[in-house]
Structure 1
Amino acid sequence: MQLWSEEIEAMRPEARAVVDAGMAFIAEAFAGDGEPPKDLLGAAQHMRRSFERMYSPVPEAIVRDIAGVSCRTFVPDVPATAIYLHFHGGGMVIGAPEMSDSSNLDLCRRFGMAVISVGYRKAPEHPFPAGPDDGIAVAKWVIENGISEYGSDRIIVGGESAGGYMAAAVALRMRDELNAVGNLLGANLVFGVHDWGRSPS
């Protein structure tokens, strides 16, 4: 079964070069870390330390606790047009809100949105659904406090990879648990995993 056109297939060498360059960057970031531990928790902590070197935190981020969850926030100079509830990628095991500081700051400045990047709990220490539980707790807080804190209680959820999945899960829980569809403006689900059925699409 052919999954894509010949035109797209012709891009394979260029795509491979991009992937190879990315893998070389990751290999360099991990250089000198030694052999990762064999146990699950040790391996996860090893990966987290290695990835931390690739983060580029910005000083404009305000770190605050929201609903018991550590978050990095970006606040516009005027009342926010909406709240962008951001979830970082990392397979629900690695990653941190700092990964997306630059893009979140840009969203705040460009669109006048307050951005809350959620430092959700990750596996293996905190099995599913700990991460989405943190996300829905922050969403509930925004619905209850967003107008007084930021000037809006309207939410756009978003994230990349595992963060895209987390954003989708939180949007559904906003609907099902908080009856808050009216607060949900949209979802920016960037290359998230949304179907565990392993379909080609």
Structure 2
Amino acid sequence: MPTIDPQLDVLLQLMAGSGNPPMHEQTPEEARRGFRVLTVDLRDPAAVPEVASVEDVTVPGGAGDLAARVYRPAADGPLPTVAFFHGGGFVIGDLDTHDLTCRTIATLCDAVVVSVDYRLAPEHPFPAAVDDALAAARWVSDSLADLGGDDRIAVAGDSAGGNLSAVVAQAFRDEDRPLSAQLLVYPVTDMGGSYPSHTENAEGYFLDRPTMDWFGAQYVGDPSALGDPRLSPLHGRLDGLAPAVVVTAELDPLRDDGNAYARALADAGVPVEHRTFPGLIHGFVDMGRHSTAAQAAVEETCALFRTMLHGGAGR
């Protein structure tokens, strides 16, 4: 029987006692507000990593300009540039909810991070988020001299953002736009798949199965699209992709989904650094202030990604 990290268990008990209804029983607007309370309002500003500068910009999207945020670390350049896509089931999340994650990647990986505020479902169902991610990433690729200073570009994201990062990596391979690396944190890679972790971790570990199904219903208007590689990158062509760091959590319903993608990448000849962190749950990248184990996992993840960005595996 797996054991949850004790510090995360305390956090989950506090959340369970909040009296708030489960996310899948809320409206998208309510879920967005609740997620911001958890990730933004309850954050200790003293725990946020300092960066040299933070700049709000606009970038092209699939149907107009998008808000974005550029994080520059206090490191000597030229630096690699990372296009970052936030998680949240394609329904919740924004630039502010993932501010801590972007600052952490910028500081621990010595990279410029461009966080993209792509359109959310259900107002903008699939493929709106994909179209936005591709357009924004292409702009980043064309703007490296202004953003990072050299030709190194990578993609990164957690959960839904990991899905978008994987999709962008496949598109960039097909467009002959070289990527230095991709960071996929507990990514969604097979929207129509069925894996043991969906049942083993169906409830009690922050992200539960009913909420996963709720996210999917908001994002995917047509179930026949589930095999589309832009929705389920596990079904795409994987050879020739950029080196990848893929990390998953033992007690996450998406654990086996991410693990399957890591194995498939390796089988296709892609250099992969894959970790499944014991005792951790979905969302751990934003839980380092609550859990020593989560913080250690974040630091190990960033160390692996930094190595790829700065001339390690695959270069």
SS of the aligned residue for 2:184 comes to strand
- The residue that corresponds to 2:37 in the other structure is 53
**For structure 2, which runs of at least 5 residues remain unmatched after alignment?**
197-255, 257-315
- The residue that corresponds to 1:23 in the other structure is 12
Q: CA deviation at 1:16?
A: 8.2
Percent of residue pairs bearing the same amino acid type: 32
CA distance, structure 1, for counterparts of residue 89 and residue 170 of structure 2: 20
Does the 8 Å CA contact 1:96/1:119 hold for their aligned counterparts? yes
Aligned residue identity for 1:21: V
SS of the aligned residue for 1:170 comes to helix
SS of the aligned residue for 2:114 comes to strand
Q: How does 1:107-122 map to 2 (within 5 A)?
A: 107-122=105-120
Does the 8 Å CA contact 2:161/2:187 hold for their aligned counterparts? yes
> Which moves more between the two structures, 184-193 or 152-161?
152-161
**Do structure 1's residue 168 and structure 2's residue 152 form an aligned pair?**
no
- The residue that corresponds to 2:100 in the other structure is 102
- The residue that corresponds to 1:65 in the other structure is 58
CA distance, structure 2, for counterparts of residue 127 and residue 24 of structure 1: 33
**Could you state the TM-score of these two structures normalised by the residue count of structure 1?**
0.77
SS of the aligned residue for 1:99 comes to coil
Aligned residue identity for 1:102: L
The Cα RMSD (Å) is: 2.8
CA deviations 1:23-53 (Å, max 9, x no partner) are: 334446x65x689897xxx700110011111
SS of the aligned residue for 1:154 comes to strand
Q: Structure 1's 18 and 146: CA in aligned 2 closer, same or farther, altered over 3 A?
A: same
Aligned residue identity for 1:99: T
Q: How does 1:123-138 map to 2 (within 5 A)?
A: 123-138=121-136
Q: CA deviation at 1:83?
A: 1.0
CA distance, structure 2, for counterparts of residue 144 and residue 199 of structure 1: 38
Aligned residue identity for 2:165: A
Q: CA deviation at 1:93?
A: 0.5
Aligned residue identity for 1:47: A
**Aligned positions, number:** 182
